[in-house]
Amino acid sequence: MSIGTNDFLENYYILSNRSSEYSTEEYQNFLAKIAGNFITELFQLGARKISLGGLPPMGCLPLERTRNLLLGSDCVETYNDVARSFNNKLEELVDRLNGELVGIQLVLANPYYILSDIIQNPESFGFEEAATACCGTGLFEMGYMCTKINPFTCSDANQYVFWDAFHPTERTNGIVADHVFKTCLAQFL
């Protein structure tokens, strides 16, 4: 299960009602509590092996870099700080629930560091572009704006870390999934 990326980028930073209602830490605690309650419900329904997905370096998504154009379109480090902090809270939640829910195997499948490594060192992973996306201009397009008929869409998505301004390419997802499987999910076998 996954929680957080849209919750922060859309519901907290864009919609002002959440950010006026909660501090960043309060919102993190609010989301972690929701995750904990949901995991407990899944456990009560019989789930015993659960993977909880952490946040990516959301300040390095092309959309967030585009919003940061006035500051040089670098990664938005305040968003990355929030992602790391929230992932720490999720790790604490995983540890607590593994102690409380007898028989559960709960892991945090944290994509932050592997994806950050890919973004900061794209050439090491065989990518040419990490700051912009394959789709359209690579700066803000998502979803229905990302088609083969868009004249700006790249010809080889395998050279890009991101497919659209928010989502990694299939190739990036494969690298992240392989890493998460080897470092977290292998204990389920």
| 136-178 residue pLDDT tens | 776 777 777 777 777 778 889 999 999 998 899 999 999 999 9
Question: What is d(CA 38, CA 51) in angstroms, rounded to the nearest whole number?
Answer: 12
pLDDT value at 103 more than 80: yes
CATH number at residue 17: 3.40.50.1110
Query: pTM for the complete prediction?
Result: 0.91
The pLDDT of residue 96? 98
Average pLDDT, the chain: 91
Give the pLDDT mean for 21-43. 97
Tokens of 16: 């002002």
CA gap 42, 67 in Å, rounded: 37
| Helix or strand (DSSP H, E) at 100 | helix 77-100
Overall domain count for the chain: 1
pLDDT at 186: 84
Question: Quick check: 73 pLDDT over 70?
Answer: no
Domain carrying residue 146: 5-188
Q: Is the pLDDT of residue 71 over 70?
A: no
